[in-house]
Every structure is written in structure tokens, then in C-alpha cells.
Amino acid sequence: MKFALLSNINLEYIIRKFTKNQNIECYSPNGYGVWQQIIMDPNSVIYENSIDSIFLILDAQELTRGCDSFEEKAKELNSIMHSIVTAINEIGSKKKFFISNLHYKYSEIKSLKHQNQNKKLEYLWFSELEKLNNEHDNVYMFHLDEMILRLGSEEFYSDKLWYLGGAKYSIKAQNIISNTIELLMKALNKKRKKCLVLDLDNTLWGGVIGEDGLEGIELSEFKEGARYKDFQKRIKELKEMGILLAICSKNNYEDAMEAINKHEHMVLKEEDFVCTKINWEPKTRNIKEIASELNIGIDSLVFIDDNPVERDAVRENVPEVCVPEFPKDTSKLEAFAHDIYEIYFFTLDNTIEDKNKTKMYKDNVRRNTERAAATDLESFFKGLKTKILIREVLPEDIKRATELTQKTNQFNLTTKRYTDKEILNLASSKNTKIYIASVSDKYGDNGKVSLAIVNLVGEEAVIDSFIMSCRVMGRYIEDQIIDYIENDLKEHGVKTIKALYKPTKKNKPVLGFYDRLGYKKINETNGEKEYKLDLSKKQLRKLYGELISK
Amino acid sequence: MDKREKLAEIASNILNIKKEEIVFRAKKESIESWDSFAHLALLSTVEEELGVVIPFEEIEEIDSLEMLLEKIKGE
């Protein structure tokens, strides 16, 4: 990973800090007065492919140095913003831009009656940035002002460093900035965790429901009980971002449910939880069940419990689960929620699929229950009234397509991870077809759940990736998708299809996938299997759903 | 942690020298990584982390960790 750091002040401390970082490389031009030239110059390093992201950290005071009146300053900021917009359009959507908002350290010395105009300038810049952020998927605001507010401007700025070295921000401030950059860069490439497993007593409320009763537990809008309510509010926000919530609590089921459903200050409701394990069984066992019921990897769980014995038991028995320490000072619970988000669930953006995730997983649990009850599997599949919508990717699918390659582990034949940039490149290539499919049924919409990347080499097609979200596995949907792709390729003159299975720790479920579909194994080395299918000899597939193609 | 040890830790980090290899008496000029920017970063970090103030006028004359330690000892 490599990013460019551009600024109108000296950020040498940050640049030097990144020279020690093994994973993230920082490019920065010599001299800090040249950032505007650099972004406008198509021959500069930042236009090169190796740069993933561009960070523009701008100091307000210096941007408008030399301008006297408010009007002059506003004009200057407008013209600078204009050059940034031009550069963004020039460089294109393949790189991420993080552009700082502005903060003026001092206002001019004025009587109280005369208002500080700098706030207006900050807002002017903010609204332009917000517009850019909304118009471009790849442009983000870098919240410099929030960092300044959080630390306090007295500590954020360093007069000494400024006068001696042209560095405006204190060492502490530059550490905050570089940590934020690191977090963002990692988020571009990192796998998020999927599910937050929560204890109840002394975690979502204060006290023990079984002993203190509905009236006795601490949970309120103000004062002591607000520690827990505020914590719940933040967790609810995590859920809105697509993080699944589950309960794992040692309690009588009825007691706990009464608190969840009847307490007026419960922010999290029963329907917010995708899975509830409220019983007296060991938590380790419950946690394993949660993962298997949701059909997600056990390493995608994060477990929150105030009880150190429970935490240690989970760490000991299921080391794949992340178990953060619980804050000793419970007035820090809200801050703890922020930390959990940054460490385990941080994301630059969320997709529509994220917002509906809890419902989708719950629908799935219901499907499985019905399936267990159904005597005849064939009629069960037909009864689901599955609809599969398949098409070649459009620009609006790119984000989800990338996400599928990044997050899917089980139904993933080759487990190749792609970035937005790479998917975009492939999608625009003539020799590659990327199919994306969404699936719905009588219980609800699963969203876009399957992706296939196919390379064309003359009359042969090679399946580079075939991925399906595990929430629709086991319903022969993959057969129908591959059937469509085979037919579509055939129509485009393809005679044979080559496919590959690459074993990973997680993709055992699809070990025999191509064998089952009648592909012929032509090679096997170290568990990697290569297959070939002659399209004229294709067998009939099991088709239970209704397929719609565009 | 006493000031001496804290100072060694900060210097180790900024000058990229192992803590146990730091020589307090060594002159600034004899340490390659101690360039003018490292000088500023070192003194600023000491100010920020130890809560001391090194007056602007005295920053230039500091030429060893020993001298820096002397300056902040009394604070």
C-alpha cells in the first residue's frame, strides 16, 4: 500500500514515521509549498498506479496567507478548491482522496461585537468538500477539525515548531494524524469482523436482571444508567452499518427477554439481534453455535463481556474469537464502542446490503427451520419461490463486487481478493466478463450475493473467480447461476470452459463443486485442481428458481 | 519512569537508535540521524511528554542528551 501525503505545511514527522512502517509506504514531494503543482501535473508521482490514495492536509491560515479581507480569502479558497476538483477529475476514480477540512487557529483581534469571519470560511470549504464527497465515491473528508477539537487547539498547534521548522502541528497532533491515515489505509484492504456478541448483565445494563429485576437494573437517559443507554445507542449505530448483533448471556430466558422488551430505556430491541443465546450453557458453546447458525466463520466474531472469567474462557477455548478487554471505568463505555468500531468494524462506506443485513440473516435462520421441517427437499426448494437476477456488472455494482471478493471465504473457488480499482479495470476490459447475481425469495431479498469473473481467451473461457455468499448456499442457486453463465458464454462463441479450485482453510464446502457439475479434472497439484468442460457435452442442471437476466 | 529513562526512550524513537546504545554525552554532530528536523522533533516531544518548557532561545545551544537532561531536570 502506498499513499501520497500532500500539504501546505511541514509534515516531516509523519513522513519519517511512515518510513518505519512495514506495510504502508508514504510518498511526499520535496518541499511543502508545491502540493498544488503536484496535483495538477500529470507527470507527477501521484498520477502513477502504485499510489492508492492521496491525502491532502491543508492548514487554513497558510492557504489564505496574504489575503486581507474576507472576500479575498473566500476567493482564494474557491480557486484552490477549483484546482482540487480539476485534479480529482483528471486523476479519476481509481484512487481515493482524503481532503482535510479547514480550521483557523486564531481569529483576528477584534471587539466582541465584530464577528469572526473565519468560521464562515471554514464552512465555505466544508460545503464544497461535502459536495465532492457526495458526488464522488472515491473522495472523502479528512476530519482535521475533529482531531483539533478533541485534543484542543492549544495542544494541537505548536508555535515553536512553526517558527523553527514550518511544522504547524505538535508532535502529539502529528501522531494523531498519522494514526488516522494508517487506520484509513488499512481499512482499504482489511477484512471487517461480522458479528458482535454481547453479554447482558453489567454490559448492556447495570446490575443483574435476575436479581435486581426490571425496576432495579441501571438503564436510563440521564445519570448513572445513561452509561449503558449511551453504549447501546452506539451499538445500534454499528448494527445500522451492517454489523450483526447477537446475545450470549447466562440468564433465565424470560427474565432477560422481559428486560429487552419491556424496559423503556432499552435502545436495542429484540429484532436488532440476529441470534440470542440466553441460557446457562457455557458461553464457549453458545458462541460456536452462533457462528454455525449464522454460517459465518468463528473468527468473524467479537465478544464483549464485563466478566473477566468469561472472557478468559472464550479466549482459551475459541482463540479465533476477538475478545477485547472491558473498560474498568464504565463511564468510558461509549468511548469503548467507538474503539470497538475502529478496531474491528471500521469501514469507509457501507452498501445497501449492509443496512438490511440483520433481516437477511434472520430470514435465513427461518428458511433453515422450515427446511428442517420439510420432508421433501425438492418441494421445499420450489416452495421458496427463489428469483435470481443476473447481469454483467454495472458501475453501481462495483462496490458490492469488491466486497464479495474481499469478504467471502467459504463459497469461493479461488479466493482471489480484488480492490475497487482492480474490479473496475477488469469490468472495462474486453476480455473479461464479470457477472453479478442477486437472489430473493418469499422470505425476503438477499441482495447481490454471487459474483463470477470470467476471462475470455479465444474460444476458451477461464473462470477466474466464482463466489457466492454463504447465506444462500445449499439451495442449488449456484447451479443455476453457472448454467446461465455457461449458456451466455456459449452464445458468445466459447467452446470450452476452464475452471480452478484453490484450497484454503475455509473453502472446503466447495471442494467438489466442479466435479458435481460434470467438469472434468485435468490436473491436480498440492490440492489445486484444474477442470475443463466441453460446452457441447454439458449436463442438465438442477433448476429450482426463476432466473431473470438483463 | 525517571526523566533520564524517559528521555532515552524518546531519543531512541526519534533518532532510530536502540535504547541501550544511547550515549548521553555524545555530541549532536556525532549522531547521523540527529539532523535539524530530528532536533526539533526531539525537543518538542520532550516538551509535550514531560510537560516541560524549553525556551525558544535555548533550543539551538542544546548539543547532547546530557545537556537536554540538565535543562529539564530543574523543571
Q: Give the pLDDT of residue B42.
A: 95
| Nearest residue to A169 (alpha-carbon basis) of A256, A221, A103 | A103
Q: Considering only alpha carbons, which residue of chain B is nearest residue A156?
A: B48
Give which of A163, A171, A175, A176 to mutate to test B binding, by max B Cβ within 10 Å: A171
B66 touches chain A (CB under 8 A): no
- A139-143, A323-327, A345-349, B46-50: the lowest-pLDDT one: A345-349
A31 touches chain B (CB under 8 A): no
Tell me what the mean pLDDT of segment A226-230 comes to: 97
Cβ–Cβ gap B37/A171 under 8 Å: no
Tens of pLDDT, residues A82-113: 999 999 999 988 899 999 999 998 767 788 78
Cβ–Cβ gap B40/A167 under 8 Å: yes
Q: Which residues contact A463 (CB under 8 A, 6 or more apart)?
A: A413, A452, A453, A454, A497, A498, A499, A500
Cβ–Cβ gap B37/A165 under 8 Å: yes
- A18-22, A160-164, A357-361, B5-9: the lowest-pLDDT one: A357-361
Tell me what the mean pLDDT of segment A429-450 comes to: 91
Read off the pLDDT band of A188 (50, 70, 90).
confident
Place of cell 471478493: A405
Cβ–Cβ gap A164/B41 under 8 Å: no
Helix (H) or strand (E) holding A533: strand A528-534
Q: Superfamily for B3-73?
A: ACP-like (1.10.1200.10)
Query: Which pTM does this prediction carry?
Result: 0.68
Cβ–Cβ gap A171/B36 under 8 Å: no
| Nearest residue to A348 (alpha-carbon basis) of A178, A139, A173, A94 | A139
Per the prediction, chain A carries an average pLDDT of 91
Q: Where are the alpha helices (DSSP H) in A398-494?
A: 398-407, 420-428, 477-491
Tens of pLDDT, residues A389-417: 999 999 889 999 999 998 888 899 999 99
| Nearest residue to A471 (alpha-carbon basis) of A434, A421, A497, A509 | A509
- Per DSSP, A100 falls in state E
pLDDT at A462 over 90: yes
Q: Give the pLDDT of residue A352.
A: 66
B40 touches chain A (CB under 8 A): yes
Q: Please identify among residues 389-448 of chain A the ones whose CB lies closer than 8 Å to any CB of chain B.
A: none
Query: Which domains does chain A possess?
Result: 2-189 (3.40.50.1110), 195-347 (3.40.50.1000), 353-549 (3.40.630.30)
Tens of pLDDT, residues A244-296: 999 999 999 999 999 999 999 999 999 999 999 999 999 999 999 999 888 88
Q: What is the ipTM of this complex?
A: 0.92
- Chain A residues with CB under 8 Å of B41 CB are 12-13, 16, 171
Q: How far apart are CA A32 and CA A6, in angstroms?
A: 7
Triad A62, A66, A68: Cα angle to 5°: 115
Cβ–Cβ gap A167/B36 under 8 Å: no
Give which of B9, B12, B48 to mutate to test A binding, by max A Cβ within 10 Å: B48
Task: Give the number of beta-carbon pairs within 8 Å between A and B.
Answer: 31
- A5-9, A107-111, A286-290, B31-35: the lowest-pLDDT one: A107-111
Q: Which residues contact B74 (CB under 8 A, 6 or more apart)?
A: none
